[in-house]
Structures are given as structure tokens and as C-alpha cells.
Amino acid sequence: MLLVGTPDAVAAARVVAGTAPDGTRLTALDSADPVQVAEALSGELAETVLVVADAAGTDPVVAAVTRVVAAAIAEEVGAQALAARTVYVTEPGSPLDVPADPGPVVVSLDADVPGRFGVLGPLGLVPAGLAGADVPAVLGDAVAAERALAADDPDNPALLLAGALVAGRGSLLALRDVERSPALTGWLAPLLTAAGLTVVPVPPDEPVGAGPGPREPTAPAGVVDVHADGTGPRPGPGHGAVRLDAGPGAAVVLWQAAAALAGRVLDTDPFAPAPPAPADGTDPAPSFVDGGIAVHAGDWLPAGTRTVAGALDALAAVADGAPAVVSAWLDPESDASVSVLRGPLVARLGLPVAFGWAPACRSGDTGAPDVAVHCHLTGDGPGGDLPGSVGAGASPPGPGLDSLHAAQARAVIDDQRRRGRPVLRLHLTDRLAGLVTLARAVTSAQSSTEP
């Protein structure tokens, strides 16, 4: 089962797919990264079912990746067989809502339900169910929980959970299930961010603040451990912790309701739309280049800075104790080594550091104020710019996947800069050499002066 969708749609499907004890056959693409697209198409395509999940039906990334994927599958099985095993999940009246017999199956979405609240709707259930998840069990669990949520009672679990979240305002919410339940954490982090909370996904036993390192740690206002899947110690008196013990479907319902209630109290909008569509234009000239990394920064970068290590230190200096958010617009498989640098970055920057794979980790940014400093890791794809349209006479031609992926990142970066946040972009012009330079910069001794 191959899913091509918006970040919220992919996150929703992964949550439901993650409930299957023996795993599912779900492969999902939420970006135009040509490395990820090539990996998805490297498997057996003869029996592949294609699901395209795009509520409005106008997302340029989904459209371009779908064209590439559909062309590859059609080459393997033929256009007629592809149409018979394609499903569109979209709103009524969207460009994808064109039923045909024979042709793709169209499953309609409720236009009033935003994607990050769509786990238990078609966005999450259709692709995960086709991949082998036990959809009836998840829904049964959710229906049972909804009865408790409807109660006008001070012990309503959604009210209690929302109260615990709101009590943590000004603190960092440490999502402790990033290793045990990555899909749940990947969906929950943007949801709580959109509700106005500051979250940092971190392993269960790792300190959130800075450990021993070259920079004096900046203590956050407070840390609240969040155990979203019922694991971890039970909170004791005076201990900043939240633990939710519930089945998979019930947990989704409770977190959605609690996020909506917290947003109401905090005057934020967890229902806000996703980040802006990919921006047109080209990248500006970098501030400097260091060892296969083109460094893009703002006016906050001191004149004379010429190394990645120096740029990281400058970002920490302007953070003023705020957390640092690292968004990797790379491939979680072939570039997995990037994620292990989170710990050394905590030590180097002296700040809490959140790490995530973009664009999914940025899907909640538009709902709430942003207090973080940001570091984006981007990179050129190998072998040139894979065309965004495939086949003789393909129209419209559209940008290549590499260009579209860069535009997707640029739109998020531009939006953060418009909101006044310090943003550092490290673009790997050569992924291998750039990763080596990045690792050395993160782990090198801090210097007060640039060479």
C-alpha cells in the first residue's frame, strides 16, 4: 500500500497503521524529496495499491509525486490496472473528486475537519485499513471513549487532560514516546504545537535541558513529561508529568479533544490550516559555504562568521533560552545519522532541542505563537532534478521534485522569518560531505572567535 498525501494525512494514516501489533504494509510519501520517492518505487509495484490523500485536491507536492508514482506503477501493470487499484481521499468538489467507471475510487472527506483532526476519518482509516490495520477495533475503542467525553462532569477525561496541558503553559512538554510510539508522537507534536504548547520529542530517559558541554545550560521555565501511550512512571505529587492510559482509538479522541480545549483557553487555533504551499522563486545566495554546506542565515549572524560551528553558536546566542527546533528535509532512511546529532546539539547549544523530519514536523506551526529558534537541514537530491511530470506529453510540466522539495522548505522558512524568528538553514550541496561537516561542527570544541 503506497500513500501519497499531505503531511497531516500521512501522519493520520501512520497513527492508525501503528496500532497493528504485527505492523502493516504502509509506505507513505508526504514530501517531494526525490530520495524518498525513489526508495518508495524501488520495491515490488505489481501488487501495489495507490492512495492519494489531499483534502483540497490542489497540493502541488501531492500532484507532482502522484504523477511520478502513477507513471512508475502504470509502466509495471498498465494504465487500466493502475486505475482499478487507485483511491482518492478528498473533499467533495475538489479536482480529485471525479468518479469514473472504470477508474479510481473516490472517498469523500468532511471539509470542516482539518487534517490533524482526521485520524479517525477517511484520511487515517482508508490507507491504514488497506495496509492491514484493524480499523473496527480502533473505531470501537474510540466510540467507547466518546461516551465519557460527552459527560458534563468535572471528571471528564478530556477536561482533566486539557487542564494538565494548560497548567504546563510556559513549560516544555517532553513527549517521551518518540522511540516506543514514533507515529503517535509524530502526529501529537504538531497537534499540541498548534494548540499553543511548546513540545520537545525526546527519548524516555534523556534530560531535556543541556547536559555537560561547552556552553552553560539555560534552564527552561519547567519541564512536563508526557507519556502519551500509557508507558512511563505514574506521575506523583509535585512531579511535572502527564500520562494517558487508553487504547489507541480512545487516545486519539482524548488528545484531539484536549488540544481543542487547551487552544480555547490559550486563545490559539489548533484548527488552523497547514503551512503555506511551496513558494515560487529561487534560493538567495548563501551567507557562506563550509565543507559541502551552504549556510543561509539572517541579520542575526555576526559578520565574519565562516563555519557551520560558528553559525550554530550564533543561533544559540540569539535564542535567549528558547528551545531550538531542528527540521530535517532529508530522507529518514539514508540520512538517519542526522537524528543522532540531537543529543550533541543539546550539549553544544545549551538549549532544549526538538528534532523532526520535515515537512510533517512543521504541520502545526500556523496555529500558535512561535517562541523557538529554527535550524532547517536541506539537501540536493542525487542525479539531478527528477521531473515532476512523467510521460510523453505530460501536462503541465511542473517543476522537478528536487526544486519542488526546496520550495516546500523555503515556504516554511519564509513564514517563520516573517514571524520574526531566527532561522538557520544548512543546505547540503553534497549530502555525504555535508553530513560529515555537520557532525564535526556539532561535536567540535566551541570557540569564541571564528578562524
Q: Where are the domains of the chain?
A: 2-133, 152-266, 288-443
- Per the model's pLDDT, the better-predicted residue between 392 and 379 turns out to be 379
Ranked by mean pLDDT, the top range of 218-227, 326-335, 412-421 is 326-335
Q: Is the pLDDT of residue 90 over 50?
A: yes
pLDDT in tens, 246-275: 888 999 999 999 999 999 999 888 887 766
**CB–CB of 362/412 below 8 Å?**
yes
List of residues 6+ apart from 195 with CB closer than 8 A:
165, 259, 260, 262, 263, 266, 268, 270, 367, 368
Amino acid 397: pLDDT? 44
Q: Among the listed ranges 67-81, 136-150, 172-186, 200-214, which one has the minimum average pLDDT value?
A: 200-214
Amino acid 17: pLDDT? 93
pLDDT band, very low/low/confident/very high, at 219 (cuts 50, 70, 90) = very low
pLDDT band, very low/low/confident/very high, at 212 (cuts 50, 70, 90) = very low
Q: Answer yes or no: same fold for 2-133 and 288-443.
A: yes
Q: Looking at residue 280, what DSSP letter applies? A: P
2-133 CATH fold: Rossmann fold (3.40.50)
Amino acid 214: pLDDT? 43
Q: Looking at residue 6, what DSSP letter applies? A: -
Give the residue-averaged pLDDT of 100-121. 88
C-alpha distances in Å from residue 58, one per residue of 99, 291, 303, 358: 17, 38, 42, 20
pLDDT band, very low/low/confident/very high, at 276 (cuts 50, 70, 90) = low
Q: Is the pLDDT of residue 369 over 80?
A: no
- Per the model's pLDDT, the better-predicted residue between 111 and 39 turns out to be 39
Amino acid 450: pLDDT? 56
How far, in Å, CA of 316 to CA of 358, rounded? 21
pLDDT band, very low/low/confident/very high, at 233 (cuts 50, 70, 90) = low
Class of domain 288-443: alpha beta
How far, in Å, CA of 388 to CA of 394, rounded? 10
Amino acid 253: pLDDT? 95
